[in-house]
Structure 1
Amino acid sequence: MTMAQDLRTTLGKAFTSQDSSDYYFKIAKRLIKTQADEGQYFFCKNARCTDYNQLDSAVVYGNRALKILQSGNDIPSLLTVYNNMAKVYRKQGQYDKAVAYCLQGIRIAEKEKKENWIAFFNAMLSLTYHDFESYPKGIYYGKKALKYWVSQKEKSPDMISNALNAVAINFDDWNKPDSALYYHKQVFQYYKGKDTLNVGETYNNIGNTLLKQKKFKEAKRWITSALKINDKNFELSQGNKDTDYYYERATNYTNLATIAHELDDFNEAEKLFEKAYWFSKKSGNAEKLRDFYMQRALFNKKRNNLAKAVEDQESYIKLRDSVFDVDRAQTFSELEAKYQNEKKEKQLLQSKAEIREREIEIKNKNMQFLVLGLISFALLCIIYLVYRQQKLKIKQQEQEFELKSAIVKIENQNKLQEQRLAISRDLHDNIGSQLTFIISSVDNIKYAFDIQNEKLDAKLSNISSFAKDTIIELRDTIWAMNKSQISFEDLQTRIHNFVDKAKEVKQEIQFNFFVDSDLKDRKFSSIEGMNIYRTIQEAIHNSIKYAEAKNIDIKVKKLGTQIAIEIKDDGKGFDVAAVAKGHGLFNMQKRITEINGHFNLQSAASGTEINILL
């Protein structure tokens, strides 16, 4: 136990040490006692070489680690080596091998039900297909990874960021910049404040998309920020120059050099391309070298340095031809087809096994069901008889309850009606008689005294008219209170009475009142009926008083499940905005809104139209 602990401690130092890695690996090698120890040793060698761009050594140690780990139970280490191997082959441009290791990793992760690793390999497939310029597949696998990481209760910003960037760069190089920017900028939902030091890659990628859109100055700001973030991280890591160090700067300087040459700053572009070349070579990444040679070829062509342009173009073509060939594309298809077929075969075998188990289970249960069926039938007969008796009892109780409820409801309605009648009698006998006394008193004053003051005379006349109008409204209120329900036919009669009185004042106006025959018996509560009546009354009153109309039409029609009321005149109209806050219009709209209706008013020089939907 102590020796195993010492080995793990030593391997940890070998992996993290900047200058003494080889020293600690030598000590660790002497501590190996078992096959599991040897597997951990080669696992750490593979991880160290992968992270520090020693790609050929990473492949050698990775294969040795896999041989040992495949026969053991250390699944996390095994899956990590598969991921490292895929990463190495992706850097070298051997994308078919990268895909093969990803798919093998997924097979193991599916078998062990390691969903986080399945998502991780899907993200790696997305990046690999991007480098191979198979962007639709890259987006497909990136979205699969993203869907998993976003669905987790405890979300990992780093994993979500990796998946978002994978999807975005596929959209970017597929010439879909809007989608690329959409996915890139989602990264900032998961990183804030100092945490933005983790997303230098996103800053660069946004700049890269803007560069392709020829928004050079804006792109330069984003990429310069990315470079500053990378330099800050390098400072915080105490000078740790791992593989990401070279890869990030290769990208940053290639993009900045491209911007400089697009802006015709050839001297600056020359300096930046020199840095980009050095970092691209050190990164050992085939995709970065391709990008560099292509961009520098365009730069040399623009400044008429055709010899160097041709040289860079040939380097680009040579590197591209080593990556993109028919055989490799065919290998991609075969790998995926093999993986999908294996998956289907496993599902088929699993289904067949489940079916066989189900058949045996059904046979065993059939006999049990037969015995249970006979017992159940006897029980059901007993239960049915008890249930029937209970149901009859419940039905009888429900009928008694309904009868009592109906009696209580009728009694309540009678009491309510008695209260309404009492209130209406009080209104009629007290307030009505008092208003009549006021009218009589005002008229007596006018006739008893010779009033010379015209203003006083007019004021007394207004008081008399106001009291008479109040008596009419009081009668309308008493009429509504005395009815538990009001129909359109009741409303039509009431409005006709109002119109007849209006004709006495304005004989030149022609009134037309139409109610759809299907609606005449339609019932409303007293409140609803009164609100409709008051609204129509107010609309007619306004047309008589202000519109100078010759015709006033009131139409009530049925529109599907709705009732439409239209009050229209051919008067001079008015400016709706100027009088929108008037009490009359406000009250009409308020009354209709209170009964869940819709109120609309339109006015022009040709007249005014009010539409109500109930």
Structure 2
Amino acid sequence: MKIARLFLFLLLCLVQFSYSQEAKKLIYKAFGSKDSSDYYFKLAKKNIKTPADEAEYYFGKNGRCNDYNQPDSCVFYGLIAIQKFKKIGNSNSLYYVYNNIAASYRKQGQYEKAISYILDGLKLAETENKEYWLANYNSNISLNYHDFESYQKGILYGKKALNYGLKAKNRDKKSITFALNAIAINFDDWNKPDSALYYHKKVFNYVKGKDTLDYSHTYNNIGNTYMKQKKYKEAESWIKRAMIIGDLNSNGIKDARYYYENATHYTNLATIAYNLDDFAKAETLFDKAYFFVKNSKSAEKFRDYFQQRYLFNKKRKNLEKTVEFQENYIKLRDSVFELERAKTFTELETKYQTAKKEKLLIEKEAEAKQKNTMLIGISLLAFFIALIGFLIYRQQKQKNVQQKQEYKLKKEISKIETHNKLQEQRLSISRDLHDNIGAQLTFIISSVDNIKYAFDITNEKLDHKLSHISNFAKETILELRDTIWAMNSNEITFEDLEIRINNYIEKAKEAKDQISFSFAIDPELKTQKLTSVQGMNIYRTIQEAVNNSIKYANASIISINAKKIENRIKISIQDNGIGFDLVTVEKGNGLKNMQKRIEEIGGEFHLSSSNEGTLIEVIL
């Protein structure tokens, strides 16, 4: 993403105070158009309606000048924006302004001013606990220490920045990679290439695919480290890749980043060329490098360029040019990177750290004093509250014990009464079923049998019909007995269920002696208790499944198994019959009733069938 567009996105999305619609459109056009930028900024200024609009206008100018390498103007508009944002209390935008001003001063070699604004931003970030900006500002301090060749402190602040980046929400990729870069270049110039390469290449743990287009500087830095190890061919490969990525990323926009990065690339490639004794190529590359160095307006890039030109001319024994570039290098180094300025830089940081410690000390003392006062007051209040609470508690405890005993007694009496009434109702219904319906069904069976024996029935169809009625009545009596059994039981164990199912299987064997039945139940399940409804529904489901296998499956083997699997019970009924197509077959009442019965008791019903047989699984 282009720097200008990225900045615009942050401008429009992160600020707390809204722009007027017209001004917003104009500021967008100002960022998007290089040639007409001033024109649109003028129009935007005319559409300012509130103090927030005015602050954002200067914020936009500050960002634009920073992106397009106008450091003096960036500082001018940034200082106005700072005052405006402080008045309206917009700290989000202040972070960017501090960052832009510091970048402009660093570019000009005014490091003491740069660090001053970085520390202003750092104070604000610490107050609001903004981990992204804590990481960003610490990385900037690391880079400033690097420029003054204080590499150990540079690494210390780089690692602080990395720690903040890793702690930030969503582990912000940009702040992490910025910190890794700061650590790596300090190791690089401290002559620790292995550590430098480790941190440079660690960037690719966080940046992959198209995102690497924003990280051409990482490729260049890796090349730079290889160059210092005199691995010139590897170095050249990495730097050229950096140039290709940089060109793709710029999209033809020649902003501050474009000139700064190309100044680095061409200076490094020229250095490689002269170290490989290709002086003609080195001269051409140095000429190209100078064009970008001049347009980058970076004191750091001028210093690096003069230093390498001086070493290049020294190698090819051009005394006049060696002296010229050496003088330029020394003059710039002494003016920009002089020891006195380094001392000022360190003093600023020490002053910041001292103020920070003093503030923390005062806050701790005030907090301790407040805590002591509060502790005494709370202690006295707690004593009286505890005393009153104890008296109330003791009285309430006695009352609660009495109420609990009364409630428990009433509950037990109510439970017994309810149980007795329910048992009486069950017994009454059972007697009615047995005495009335059972007697009537027995009478039907007896009457049918008497008719068959009393009359010489020659009509085979009628004889078959009478036999069917008699058998149906007998089956109904058996089902009635099962229902009465379930109703008279508060609880049913699997052992009870096993006895009932075995009785049913024995009767089934008599009807179909060519079918082999098997029924297995885990011993640990036998004492497992079920409610009467659960027991009856399971029994009816097994009964229906076996009945279907006998009637329709043409099976020779029917097996029933009940197992305990962890905290679940699995019952399976399987035959080796002809099966049926689950898609095309129309489910009758039998299959639907089985599924409904199991779902009523909170179980799962599974049915599968093929030409090798049918399997029904019930999971409780």
* TM-score, with length taken from structure 2: 0.59
Distance 1:17 1:100, change over 3 A: same
* Offset at residue 156 of structure 1 (A): 2.7
Q: Which residue of 1 aligns with 2:233?
A: 217
* Offset at residue 323 of structure 1 (A): 1.2
**Partner amino acid for 1:301?**
K
* Aligned mates of 1:151, 1:114 — CA distance in 2: 10
Verify the 8 A CA contact 1:89 1:98 in the aligned structure 2.
yes
* Aligned mates of 1:14, 1:307 — CA distance in 2: 48
Match of 2:247 among 225, 231, 235: 231
User: What are the superposed Cα offsets for residues 562-584 of structure 1, whole Å, 9 maximum, x if unpaired?
Assistant: xxxxxxxxxxxxxxxxxxxxxxx
Match of 2:207 among 172, 175, 191: 191
* Aligned mates of 1:257, 1:268 — CA distance in 2: 7
* Offset at residue 207 of structure 1 (A): 0.5
Verify the 8 A CA contact 1:257 1:268 in the aligned structure 2.
yes
* Offset at residue 309 of structure 1 (A): 1.4
Distance 1:215 1:74, change over 3 A: same
Q: Which residue of 1 aligns with 2:54?
A: 38
Q: Which residue of 2 aligns with 1:320?
A: 333
1:344 aligned onto 2:357: yes
* Aligned mates of 1:3, 1:180 — CA distance in 2: 44
**Partner amino acid for 1:306?**
L
Q: Which residue of 1 aligns with 2:77?
A: 61
Match of 1:164 among 163, 167, 180: 180
Verify the 8 A CA contact 2:65 2:74 in the aligned structure 1.
yes
Q: Which residue of 2 aligns with 1:80?
A: 96
**Partner amino acid for 1:319?**
L
1:90 aligned onto 2:106: yes
Q: Which residue of 2 aligns with 1:437?
A: none
Verify the 8 A CA contact 1:161 1:187 in the aligned structure 2.
yes
User: What are the superposed Cα offsets for residues 73-108 of structure 1, whole Å, 9 maximum, x if unpaired?
Assistant: 211111111000110111111111111110011111
Match of 2:147 among 131, 136, 139: 131
1:70 aligned onto 2:96: no
User: What are the superposed Cα offsets for residues 162-217 of structure 1, whole Å, 9 maximum, x if unpaired?
Assistant: 11111100110111111100100101111223332222111100110010011111
User: What are the superposed Cα offsets for residues 208-232 of structure 1, whole Å, 9 maximum, x if unpaired?
Assistant: 0010011111111111111111122
**Partner amino acid for 1:163?**
A
Q: Following superposition of structure 1 onto structure 2, how do residues 134-149 of structure 1 map, counting pairs within 5 Å?
A: 134-149=150-165
* Offset at residue 157 of structure 1 (A): 2.4
Q: Which residue of 1 aligns with 2:347?
A: 334
Distance 1:152 1:58, change over 3 A: closer
SS in structure 2 opposite 1:133?
A: coil
User: What are the superposed Cα offsets for residues 235-273 of structure 1, whole Å, 9 maximum, x if unpaired?
Assistant: xx2x11110100111111111000000000111111100
User: What are the superposed Cα offsets for residues 491-532 of structure 1, whole Å, 9 maximum, x if unpaired?
Assistant: xxxxxxxxxxxxxxxxxxxxxxxxxxxxxxxxxxxxxxxxxx
1:359 aligned onto 2:372: yes
Verify the 8 A CA contact 1:243 1:283 in the aligned structure 2.
yes
Structure 2 regions of 5+ residues with no counterpart?
A: 1-16, 396-620
Number of residue equivalences: 382
Distance 1:207 1:326, change over 3 A: closer
* Aligned mates of 2:284, 2:135 — CA distance in 1: 41
SS in structure 2 opposite 1:53?
A: coil
* Aligned mates of 2:29, 2:300 — CA distance in 1: 32
* Aligned mates of 1:176, 1:30 — CA distance in 2: 55
SS in structure 2 opposite 1:71?
A: helix
Q: Which residue of 2 aligns with 1:244?
A: 257
User: What are the superposed Cα offsets for residues 442-497 of structure 1, whole Å, 9 maximum, x if unpaired?
Assistant: xxxxxxxxxxxxxxxxxxxxxxxxxxxxxxxxxxxxxxxxxxxxxxxxxxxxxxxx
Verify the 8 A CA contact 1:164 1:187 in the aligned structure 2.
yes
Distance 1:48 1:297, change over 3 A: same
Verify the 8 A CA contact 1:3 1:31 in the aligned structure 2.
no
**Partner amino acid for 1:144?**
K
* Aligned mates of 1:35, 1:169 — CA distance in 2: 42
Verify the 8 A CA contact 1:165 1:184 in the aligned structure 2.
yes
**Partner amino acid for 2:310?**
A
User: What are the superposed Cα offsets for residues 356-379 of structure 1, whole Å, 9 maximum, x if unpaired?
Assistant: 321232222222333355568889
* Aligned mates of 2:66, 2:387 — CA distance in 1: 71
Identical counterparts, % of pairs: 57
SS in structure 1 opposite 2:20?
A: helix
1:287 aligned onto 2:300: yes
* TM-score, with length taken from structure 1: 0.59
Match of 2:42 among 15, 19, 26: 26
Structure 1 regions of 5+ residues with no counterpart?
A: 383-614
Match of 2:135 among 119, 126, 129: 119
Verify the 8 A CA contact 2:75 2:101 in the aligned structure 1.
yes
Match of 1:175 among 159, 183, 191: 191
* Aligned mates of 2:52, 2:168 — CA distance in 1: 33
Match of 1:268 among 249, 262, 281: 281
**Partner amino acid for 1:243?**
A
* Offset at residue 6 of structure 1 (A): 1.4
Q: Which residue of 2 aligns with 1:49?
A: 65
**Partner amino acid for 1:287?**
E
Verify the 8 A CA contact 1:139 1:170 in the aligned structure 2.
yes
* Aligned mates of 1:19, 1:67 — CA distance in 2: 29
Q: Which residue of 1 aligns with 2:321?
A: 308
Verify the 8 A CA contact 2:18 2:52 in the aligned structure 1.
no
User: What are the superposed Cα offsets for residues 280-308 of structure 1, whole Å, 9 maximum, x if unpaired?
Assistant: 11111111111111001111111122111
Q: Which residue of 2 aligns with 1:369?
A: 382
Distance 1:63 1:152, change over 3 A: closer
